[in-house]
Amino acid sequence: MNDSLYAYCVDIVNEDTGNYAYMIILAITDKPQILEFHPNGSSPYMNIADKKAYYAGLSKYYIKETDSMLQDLTTGNKINKKDISVIISKENSHLSYNAIGGNSNIKGVNAIGGYSNIDAVPDYKSEKGCAPTSLAMLIKYTYGNLVDSQTTLIDRLAYEFDSLPGSGATPVAYIKPGVIRYLSSKGITPTFCRFISENYFGDPIYGMTYNSLETYQTYINAKIPVVVIMFGAKGTSPAFPSGFNDHAVCGTGYYVGSAGEFIIVHTTAQEGDVYVAYSEYALGQFAWFTVY
């Protein structure tokens, strides 16, 4: 472990309501990138005083107890520092880890290479449009028997999204409220439901600057699929030989290696795992969306 800076944790309070939110921001690029955003509640690091903080991906928060021991801020368990890389490497063997010091500085991961793919994410064929189908894959994987079966789930989401009959075109602005309404009808209140990068009005911010591969990897490593909304995408697959164009897919994994940088997706055409280059040529103007 070394002492290089990876990320900042920023707690935000609304002085009128007293409500808290927090975000974890990647600090190793020229332009800030949000790794996590939580609109309700303070961060696990808020009251750690002068203890050194460590970050190992989504919901993996630690502080230094002694030279040899770390405390897991989620469970309260003590972990030997020499074991932390072993515990993490079983899940994310491709990641490198950098320790950093300071009250607001967080130990992080720099996902520079490797392969990861989430098993058991459904591979549905589009019935009422790509957006409801892609979201159905994500929601079914995440909530299992708490939600409807494939056809009913896609139908319900298409209704909530106001997807157009025939073409299945879906207004992007209807996706987040539609997901929330559907889950609410099942008695589910998600912890997180949004585009990972949004503006003040809740609209997605598109492009590689605000939808980094590192951010995508953080969610995949935490076993959280990511829906990719694309416009003008030129990436292809056997079912889309002329390009995806305006489309939505369900991201299940990634590969970063000698062949390049790729996200792994289910394309809504039941063609299995499809590798799509992480580039604005292949993905067009794109944005990450997830719910859990």
Sequence spans of domains, the chain: 7-110, 117-291
CA distance 74 to 263: 29
Most confident residue range from 70-74, 258-262, 270-274: 270-274
* CATH of the domain spanning 117-291: 3.90.70
Distance of alpha carbon 241 from the chain centroid: 27
How much of the chain exceeds pLDDT 90, in percent? Answer: 54
Contact 231, 206 (CB under 8 A): yes
pLDDT digits (tens, 9 = 90+) for 74-106: 888 888 876 654 333 333 322 222 222 222 333
Cα–Cα distances in angstroms (integers) from residue 288 to residues 193, 237, 249, in the given order: 11, 20, 10
Among the ranges given (25-34, 58-67, 270-279), the one the predictor scored with the smallest mean pLDDT = 25-34
Q: What is the DSSP string of 50-67?
A: T--EEE-STT-EEEE-SS
| Residue 2 in tokens | 């070394």
Residue with the bigger pLDDT between 232 and 63: it is 232
Residue 274 pairs in a beta bridge with 265
Least confident of 104-108, 118-122, 132-136: 104-108
Closest CA to 175 of 240, 208, 131: 131
**Cβ-contact 290, 225 below 8 angstroms:** yes
- For a pLDDT cut of 70, what percent of the chain falls above it? 82
Instruction: Give the pLDDT score at 20.
Output: 83
Question: pLDDT at position 82, please?
Answer: 67
Burial (Cβ within 10 Å: 0-12, 13-18, ≥19) of residue 134: buried
pLDDT at 263: 96
On the CB side of 172, how many CA atoms lie within 13 Å of its CA? 22
